[in-house]
Structure 1
Amino acid sequence: MAVYTEVSEDEAGALLQALGLGELTSLRGIEGGIENTNYFATSTQGEWVLTLFERLTHAQLPFYLHLMKHLAQHGVPVPEPQAKAAGVRIKAGEDEILHTVCGKPAAVVNRLRGKSELAPGPTHCAAVGDMLARAHLAARGYERRQPNLRGLAWWNETVPVILPHLDESQAALIRAELAYQNHIAASSAYAALPRGAVHADLFRDNVMFEGTAEQPVLSGFFDFYFAGVDTWLFDLAVTLNDWAIDLPTGTTDAARTQALLNAYQAVRPLTDAERRLLPAMLRAGALRFWVSRLWDFHLPREASMLKAHDPTHFERVLRQRVAAPLLA
């Protein structure tokens, strides 16, 4: 959620009016994140988030936006893309919920209530596990298809680009893990994993809570712009790798892990193939974010409000997942 493209109040206001969302009263850039330009936009009718997509194209975006719309309409608390008002012309490349601002694809969604919990306990993790399983089941009826653009094919393309920036130990680890993940992906057990549309980036800062620390209420998932069709197990592994580890060391937190897994399985029990491959997918999730953070750190783009994440964090997580596999 950096700001790469400066949006004027006139431009933002014109879009809100085209969506029938009232008059703009304030516009503020959002810090954090690395992929898109985001603003908080307040209007006479409510609180909104305006996103300009810096890498994704008009052709790619309907998958993400209509997934959010689908989940919202099936009871999953996610930001709902706002549609153009009746009579507003839909330009080439757009649809009713995909717009254009400053020449970039754009969307406006309702702003979720609450705040992110960056130091979650087991109760927070249980809420996340429950809602993640519900989101997976709700997405079964979603018919659009787009691969996970940060999946194995992207790892295979990107690792050679970042290898020159690594020391000998890091290079050996990333080569070995990439070979292992290619082996797993070619297996019959992997082919048997249930799959569908997944979030693929459900970190602590992409979930909102209301209530108290003792009795939190999950008010929403957001930032679906890494979503794609992948295995549900990979999505669960990515989530566990953030919500259920000790951040300084990357080690597993047993209580949070069990809370998240138990809540998930109370809604959607894991299959035998998923239980067998959970350790491998936890490694895959760590590799995916180590690779992307190395790429963003060593090959950064310019942005007016950009904070690159530390790539060594997911190196630690990967080493821990290799050394101490988690069994479901």
Structure 2
Amino acid sequence: MNAPPSRGAQGPLKGLRVVEFLGIGPGPQAAMMLADLGAEVLRITRKGGNGWPNPVNDRGRAEIEIDIRSKAGRLQCLEALDRADVLIEGFRPGVMERLGLGPDDIAPRNPRLVYARMTGWGQEGPLARTAGHDINYIALSGALAAMGRPGEPAAIPLNLVGDFGGGSMLLVTGILAALFERATSGKGQVVDAAILDGVTTMMSFFDGLTTTGQLSLDRTDNLLGGAAPYYRTYLCCDGREMSVGALEPPFFAELIARLDLPEFADGQTPERWPALEAALTARFAEHDQAHWIRLFEGSDACVAPVLTLAEAKVHQHFCARETYVEGDSLMQAAPSPRFSRTPGAARSDAGEDGAAMIARWRES
């Protein structure tokens, strides 16, 4: 990976050893994040992979193909785990136990191991052993019901809210918390990270505001869900979109001034929403996106263009911050967050194959 010199190849997690059992979605994302921050990640894969080869998400690993259902494969996994700090697995509850690789099998051999389990529904509960995907988890959590326009099907936010927001981000949080506790106790523990639980944690902000009456999650008057005309997107005459997020009065005043709509100075009051929406819809449709980018550039009106991913990668702000780095002929996201002394690096691989990594761990 050809990362800029300012992004070193070490990272704050240098020396951390992670064994990842191949899965899909949030598990691989979490392993990538740990690798970006300096951890050594060994991925135990299987013949044929996971069916979702991903040149960005799969970066930073050494890989070894093992038949984990065989006795020899199980022993090979145990050997790797003897020297590991973290295990990441995303199978349904009970699968690792049936393979002889569950927490109770590993703990006697490596009591310091942090055993991180990533599932949709959690390790127990009525739905624990049933199949599900991101859309199901955010639906059951109450998050999906708040997304979209009244009278229309819910807006699907890719897999950002469930798999990666409630899943991988909370999984990494759990891993780092368990490692911090281990520094005192000397012992590892099981991290039960469920996407459903993570989304519930993320929804706590909205839950709190609805309890106090400051926010409604009903799509007809959800301030943050598109009901408010000053917090939504608008079509331009070229079919592109602009996002408007002028929530606070000073920002709203700037929006109205830039659009030359002084008659809507009081437009944030709910009874004015229908008229304001009609006015904003008509005004944005008068010009193309490029016009509105120029008009709002550098302003505090909280207006930004809706860009494609390809356009975002070459936007001046991302370029200035080196948010994307080049590697393997791809522009891909650089590690985040950033650190002043120990920056990570988006590595294409760990520089050695899986068998060599296991051998090196064994000798250490």
Category of TM-score, reference length = shorter chain = under 0.3
Question: Would you tell me which structure has more helix in proportion to its own residues?
Answer: 1
Name which structure has the greater RCO, CA cutoff 8 Å, separation 6+: 2
- Whichever of the two has the greater Rg, that structure is 2
